[in-house]
Amino acid sequence: MTLRDGGIYRFSILMRTPFAGQQVIARVNGDGFDLFTLEEWGTLAPARIRVDAHDRVLFHGRTTGYGAELLLDTGESVNERS
């Protein structure tokens, strides 16, 4: 799955994680994407959530057992919200 740099996504509620249902903003980082909640975006905090080159969702660097296919594209981007 290819994410959009600056794209806003919502985690599926089917995920059994603390961020199920949350919206996140994707930012390209190396061979994957860092994901920031709307509250984290614009801060200097490091990304807690990441999608790696194999489309695995990582939380604090550890695999969650979920893939990027559970990220639902809202069709919005951070540029549209400014």
What is the identity of the amino acid at 37?
T
Q: Given this model, what pLDDT does residue 49 score?
A: 95
- Single pTM value for the model: 0.89
Mean pLDDT of 33-56: 94
Whether residue 33 is contained in a domain is answered as yes
Whether residue 32 is contained in a domain is answered as yes
Q: Given this model, what pLDDT does residue 80 score?
A: 67
Total domains in the chain come to 1
Tell which phi-psi region holds residue 5, choosing left (phi > 0), alpha (psi between -120 and 50) or beta.
Answer: beta
Sign of the CA dihedral with 11 first, then 51, 19, and 3 last: negative
Query: Distance between alpha carbon 55 and the CA centroid of its chain, in Å?
Result: 11
Whether residue 13 is contained in a domain is answered as yes
**DSSP-assigned beta bridge partners for residue 71:** 11
Host domain of residue 69: 7-75
Whether residue 15 is contained in a domain is answered as yes
